Amino acid sequence: MKNISTIIGVVLLAYVAYKAIKHYAMVPKMKFQSEQLVLLDKNETTSIDAYKGHVLLVSCYQTWCGSCARETPDLNELAAKINSPNFTVLYISDEAEEKANKFRQRFASENIVYAKSAKRFGELGIRSFPSNFLINKKGEVVMTKLEGFDWLGEEAAIKKLLAE
Protein backbone atom coordinates (compact mmCIF):
# COMPACT_ATOMS: atom_id res chain seq x y z
CA MET A 1 0.00 0.00 0.00
CA LYS A 2 2.90 2.36 0.76
CA ASN A 3 4.31 1.82 -2.76
CA ILE A 4 0.98 2.75 -4.38
CA SER A 5 0.79 5.94 -2.31
CA THR A 6 4.35 6.82 -3.35
CA ILE A 7 3.60 6.16 -7.03
CA ILE A 8 0.42 8.24 -6.90
CA GLY A 9 2.31 11.05 -5.17
CA VAL A 10 5.08 11.00 -7.77
CA VAL A 11 2.59 10.95 -10.67
CA LEU A 12 0.62 13.81 -9.14
CA LEU A 13 3.78 15.84 -8.56
CA ALA A 14 4.94 15.20 -12.14
CA TYR A 15 1.56 16.30 -13.48
CA VAL A 16 1.63 19.54 -11.47
CA ALA A 17 5.22 20.23 -12.58
CA TYR A 18 4.26 19.59 -16.23
CA LYS A 19 1.34 22.04 -16.00
CA ALA A 20 3.53 24.69 -14.35
CA ILE A 21 6.27 24.34 -16.95
CA LYS A 22 3.76 24.38 -19.79
CA HIS A 23 2.06 27.47 -18.37
CA TYR A 24 5.13 29.53 -17.50
CA ALA A 25 8.03 28.34 -19.64
CA MET A 26 6.46 27.89 -23.05
CA VAL A 27 7.51 30.36 -25.68
CA PRO A 28 4.80 33.03 -25.81
CA LYS A 29 2.92 33.74 -29.00
CA MET A 30 2.76 37.26 -30.35
CA LYS A 31 -0.98 37.85 -30.04
CA PHE A 32 -0.94 41.49 -29.07
CA GLN A 33 0.10 43.32 -32.24
CA SER A 34 -2.96 45.54 -32.20
CA GLU A 35 -2.90 46.28 -28.44
CA GLN A 36 -2.48 49.92 -27.48
CA LEU A 37 0.99 51.12 -26.49
CA VAL A 38 1.98 54.55 -25.19
CA LEU A 39 5.32 55.85 -26.50
CA LEU A 40 7.09 57.26 -23.46
CA ASP A 41 9.05 59.98 -25.24
CA LYS A 42 6.11 61.34 -27.22
CA ASN A 43 3.20 60.39 -24.95
CA GLU A 44 1.25 59.24 -28.00
CA THR A 45 -0.40 55.92 -28.66
CA THR A 46 0.68 53.32 -31.19
CA SER A 47 0.67 49.57 -31.68
CA ILE A 48 3.03 46.98 -33.07
CA ASP A 49 0.84 46.82 -36.18
CA ALA A 50 1.67 50.49 -36.82
CA TYR A 51 5.25 49.41 -37.63
CA LYS A 52 4.31 47.24 -40.63
CA GLY A 53 6.73 47.96 -43.42
CA HIS A 54 9.56 48.08 -40.88
CA VAL A 55 11.67 45.37 -39.28
CA LEU A 56 10.92 45.46 -35.59
CA LEU A 57 12.62 43.90 -32.59
CA VAL A 58 10.13 43.91 -29.72
CA SER A 59 11.45 43.30 -26.22
CA CYS A 60 8.92 42.83 -23.41
CA TYR A 61 10.95 43.71 -20.32
CA GLN A 62 10.67 44.36 -16.60
CA THR A 63 12.79 46.89 -14.73
CA TRP A 64 13.80 44.29 -12.09
CA CYS A 65 14.97 41.77 -14.73
CA GLY A 66 18.75 41.15 -14.81
CA SER A 67 18.68 39.65 -18.32
CA CYS A 68 16.70 42.65 -19.55
CA ALA A 69 19.32 44.99 -18.10
CA ARG A 70 22.21 43.01 -19.62
CA GLU A 71 20.77 42.99 -23.14
CA THR A 72 19.77 46.68 -23.23
CA PRO A 73 23.23 48.05 -24.18
CA ASP A 74 23.57 45.30 -26.82
CA LEU A 75 20.22 46.14 -28.41
CA ASN A 76 21.11 49.82 -28.34
CA GLU A 77 24.40 48.99 -30.10
CA LEU A 78 22.61 46.75 -32.61
CA ALA A 79 20.20 49.54 -33.55
CA ALA A 80 23.15 51.93 -33.97
CA LYS A 81 25.05 49.45 -36.16
CA ILE A 82 22.06 48.76 -38.39
CA ASN A 83 21.28 52.48 -38.50
CA SER A 84 18.18 52.22 -40.66
CA PRO A 85 14.96 54.22 -40.41
CA ASN A 86 13.22 50.91 -41.25
CA PHE A 87 14.55 49.10 -38.16
CA THR A 88 13.26 49.77 -34.67
CA VAL A 89 14.03 48.25 -31.29
CA LEU A 90 10.82 48.64 -29.30
CA TYR A 91 11.04 48.09 -25.53
CA ILE A 92 7.67 47.48 -23.93
CA SER A 93 6.97 47.39 -20.20
CA ASP A 94 3.75 47.08 -18.27
CA GLU A 95 5.23 48.81 -15.23
CA ALA A 96 4.74 52.42 -14.18
CA GLU A 97 6.29 55.04 -16.44
CA GLU A 98 8.53 56.29 -13.59
CA LYS A 99 10.10 52.83 -13.24
CA ALA A 100 10.64 52.55 -16.99
CA ASN A 101 12.30 55.98 -17.09
CA LYS A 102 14.63 55.09 -14.20
CA PHE A 103 15.55 51.85 -16.00
CA ARG A 104 16.39 53.60 -19.26
CA GLN A 105 18.49 56.24 -17.49
CA ARG A 106 20.76 53.47 -16.16
CA PHE A 107 21.71 52.24 -19.64
CA ALA A 108 22.78 53.55 -23.00
CA SER A 109 19.50 53.36 -24.86
CA GLU A 110 19.23 56.38 -27.14
CA ASN A 111 18.51 54.07 -30.11
CA ILE A 112 15.66 52.23 -28.38
CA VAL A 113 12.00 53.29 -28.47
CA TYR A 114 10.30 52.82 -25.09
CA ALA A 115 6.60 52.13 -24.71
CA LYS A 116 4.14 51.16 -22.00
CA SER A 117 1.56 48.46 -22.53
CA ALA A 118 -1.99 49.36 -21.59
CA LYS A 119 -2.49 45.73 -20.54
CA ARG A 120 -0.54 43.67 -18.01
CA PHE A 121 1.88 41.18 -19.57
CA GLY A 122 0.13 38.25 -17.91
CA GLU A 123 -3.00 39.13 -19.89
CA LEU A 124 -0.90 39.08 -23.07
CA GLY A 125 0.68 35.69 -22.34
CA ILE A 126 4.11 37.10 -21.43
CA ARG A 127 5.56 35.44 -18.31
CA SER A 128 9.28 35.26 -19.06
CA PHE A 129 11.58 38.26 -19.33
CA PRO A 130 12.80 39.47 -21.61
CA SER A 131 10.49 38.01 -24.24
CA ASN A 132 11.83 39.14 -27.61
CA PHE A 133 10.15 38.99 -30.99
CA LEU A 134 11.85 39.77 -34.31
CA ILE A 135 9.16 40.88 -36.77
CA ASN A 136 9.57 41.24 -40.53
CA LYS A 137 8.13 44.00 -42.72
CA LYS A 138 4.91 42.03 -43.21
CA GLY A 139 4.31 42.02 -39.45
CA GLU A 140 5.17 38.32 -39.07
CA VAL A 141 7.20 37.03 -36.14
CA VAL A 142 10.31 35.36 -37.61
CA MET A 143 12.18 34.71 -34.35
CA THR A 144 11.29 34.54 -30.66
CA LYS A 145 13.93 34.47 -27.91
CA LEU A 146 13.53 34.42 -24.16
CA GLU A 147 15.60 35.47 -21.15
CA GLY A 148 18.53 37.16 -22.79
CA PHE A 149 20.03 36.45 -26.18
CA ASP A 150 23.04 37.67 -28.14
CA TRP A 151 21.20 39.89 -30.59
CA LEU A 152 24.46 41.38 -31.87
CA GLY A 153 25.02 38.03 -33.59
CA GLU A 154 21.79 38.55 -35.55
CA GLU A 155 22.89 41.71 -37.37
CA ALA A 156 23.21 39.92 -40.74
CA ALA A 157 19.79 38.27 -40.38
CA ILE A 158 18.18 41.63 -39.61
CA LYS A 159 19.89 43.29 -42.57
CA LYS A 160 18.58 40.48 -44.77
CA LEU A 161 15.05 41.15 -43.51
CA LEU A 162 15.52 44.85 -44.27
CA ALA A 163 16.57 44.01 -47.84
CA GLU A 164 13.43 41.93 -48.49
pLDDT tens-digit series, residues 72-120: 999 999 999 999 999 999 999 999 999 999 998 998 788 999 999 999 9
pLDDT computed for residue 23 by the predictor: 46
Share of the chain above pLDDT 90, in %: 62
Its pTM stands at: 0.81
pLDDT computed for residue 42 by the predictor: 86
Across the range 130-147, mean pLDDT stands at: 92
Q: What is the pLDDT of the chain when averaged over all its residues?
A: 87
Q: Which helix (H) or strand (E) holds 90?
A: strand 87-93
